[in-house]
């Protein structure tokens, strides 16, 4: 029934996608070659591998902006990944790029994020200062390369891993699809963080500079639409993804506003101190008791060393699991 379906899809890509698109049939392949799927392209297969991974499911319980939010409607890392995917697919489709590659990168881009959001990332970065520091986008690459699937990795294509590892940072992804995700990530978090901050009562929309609202839009949906439409227009038939000068400057100004009025304020110093205490305590404990790491992480000790294996384990924890492990080892409990 499915014989030839993958080849048909590859032929459609070669015929109708942009000259700048990454075609499935032109992928640089995987570290470990496997037999082609009869009915899915390589990027569709990668998307499915990410979607069914343990790390993707754990994003449900990882902080986006607010630590352990009590409301039902605040974003988590999982909902953030889904919003990035939706925005990125819209842009890719309009630009005749490879939507499947874009979706795979978007769904996998934050798999390496720590518990407790950026507070957790700062804590690990501080602990590992003499070990090269910690960056979540590099950790996302480690997750798909080495840690998922019980320590064997997901064996994804080069293009998907490249897009995941370079969705932020100084190095641009090698594909336009990866660059689309890079912009979509920022479009998503700027806009949904405004909405969440207003919902939490720490920001009033009247505080946002009027000149930015006039350019980007007065409502949540309007701002997202403005940024998406501008990205499509500025990038149409171009070898690089970009925004116009006007929208790009306004977006950067909005980001600066959010850091000054939301991110630096929600980064409560006392909460940061508590997060660092939890992360540092767990790091010291597992460094002294490496034998308590799960088997798949013990395998990593032989290849990457104890410190990296402990880092990998803690970075993969959800907020609630990190708290439960801290309570297990450091909080006294009554004996029966």
pLDDT tier for residue 64 given thresholds of 50, 70 and 90: confident
* 219-228: pLDDT as tens digits: 999 999 999 9
| Domain assignment of residue 95, yes or no | yes
Give me the CATH number covering residue 195: 1.10.3210.10
Of 236, 154, 177, 166, the C-alpha closest to 26 is 177
pLDDT number for residue 268: 63
| Domain assignment of residue 312, yes or no | yes
Q: Give, in order, the Cα–Cα distances in Å from 302 to each of 2, 34, 139, 147, 297.
A: 42, 26, 18, 13, 9
pLDDT number for residue 92: 98
pLDDT number for residue 75: 78
Share of the chain above pLDDT 70, in %: 95
pLDDT tier for residue 3 given thresholds of 50, 70 and 90: low
The burial of 100, by beta-carbon neighbours within 10 Å (0-12 exposed, 13-18 middle, 19 or more buried), is given as: buried
Q: Are 254 and 216 in contact (CB under 8 A)?
A: yes
Q: Is the dihedral of CA 32, 35, 41, 45 positive or negative?
A: negative
Distance between CA 117 and CA 276 in Å, rounded?
Answer: 12
Q: Between the ranges 66-70, 119-123, 230-234, where is the mean pLDDT highest?
A: 230-234
Distance between CA 93 and CA 176 in Å, rounded?
Answer: 12
* 227-263: pLDDT as tens digits: 999 999 999 999 999 999 999 999 999 999 998 888 8
| Domain assignment of residue 335, yes or no | no
Of 17, 71, 76, the C-alpha closest to 41 is 17
| The CA-based dihedral angle spanning residues 66, 68, 71, 73, taken in that order and rounded to the nearest 10 degrees | 60
pLDDT number for residue 122: 92
Of 193, 152, 159, 196, the C-alpha closest to 178 is 159
Which structural domain, as residue segments, surrounds residue 162? 5-330
Specify the number of domains making up the chain: 1
* 124-173: pLDDT as tens digits: 999 999 999 999 999 999 999 999 999 999 999 999 999 999 999 999 99
| Domain assignment of residue 138, yes or no | yes
pLDDT number for residue 69: 54
* Two structure tokens written together for 211: 């000149």
Distance between CA 228 and CA 184 in Å, rounded?
Answer: 8
**Helical H segments across 113-216, by residue range:** 117-127, 136-142, 148-151, 158-165, 176-199, 210-216
| Domain assignment of residue 113, yes or no | yes
* Two structure tokens written together for 335: 């004996």
| Domain assignment of residue 130, yes or no | yes
In the predicted model, is pLDDT for residue 66 greater than 70? no
Q: Which residues of 252-269 are buried (b: 16+ CB within 10 A; e: fewer)?
A: eebeebbeebbeeebbee
Of 126, 166, 174, 154, the C-alpha closest to 22 is 174
Distance between CA 50 and CA 107 in Å, rounded?
Answer: 7
């Amino acid at each position: 029934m499915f014989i030839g379906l993958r080849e048909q899809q590859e032929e459609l890509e070669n015929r109708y996608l942009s000259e700048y698109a990454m075609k499935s049939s032109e992928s640089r392949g995987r570290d470990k070659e496997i037999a082609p799927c009869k009915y899915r392209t390589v990027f569709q297969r990668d998307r499915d591998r990410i979607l069914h991974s343990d790390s993707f499911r754990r994003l449900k319980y990882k902080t986006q902006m607010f630590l352990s939010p009590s409301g039902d409607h605040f974003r988590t890392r999982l909902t953030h990944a889904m919003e990035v995917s939706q925005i990125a697919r819209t842009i890719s489709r309009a630009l005749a790029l490879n939507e499947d590659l874009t979706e795979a990168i978007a769904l996998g881009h934050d798999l390496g994020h720590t518990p407790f959001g950026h507070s957790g990332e700062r804590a690990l970065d501080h602990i590992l200062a003499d070990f090269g520091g910690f960056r979540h986008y590099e950790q996302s690459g480690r997750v798909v390369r080495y840690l998922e699937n019980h320590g064997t990795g997901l064996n994804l294509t080069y293009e998907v891993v490249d897009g995941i590892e370079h969705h932020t940072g100084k190095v641009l992804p090698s594909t336009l699809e990866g660059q689309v995700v890079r912009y979509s990530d920022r479009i998503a978090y700027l806009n949904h963080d405004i909405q969440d901050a207003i919902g939490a009562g720490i920001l009033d929309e009247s505080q946002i500079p009027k000149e930015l609202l006039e350019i980007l839009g007065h409502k949540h949906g309007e701002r997202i639409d403005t940024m998406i439409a501008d990205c499509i227009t500025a990038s149409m038939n171009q070898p690089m993804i970009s925004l116009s000068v006007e929208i790009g400057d306004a977006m950067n100004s909005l980001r600066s506003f959010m850091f000054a009025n939301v991110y630096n304020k929600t980064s409560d110093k006392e909460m940061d101190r508590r997060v660092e205490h939890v992360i540092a305590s767990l790091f010291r404990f597992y460094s002294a008791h490496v034998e308590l790491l799960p088997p798949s992480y013990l395998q990593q000790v032989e290849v990457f060393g104890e410190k990296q294996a402990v880092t990998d384990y803690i970075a993969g924890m959800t907020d609630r699991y990190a708290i439960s492990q801290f309570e297990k080892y450091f909080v006294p409990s009554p004996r029966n």
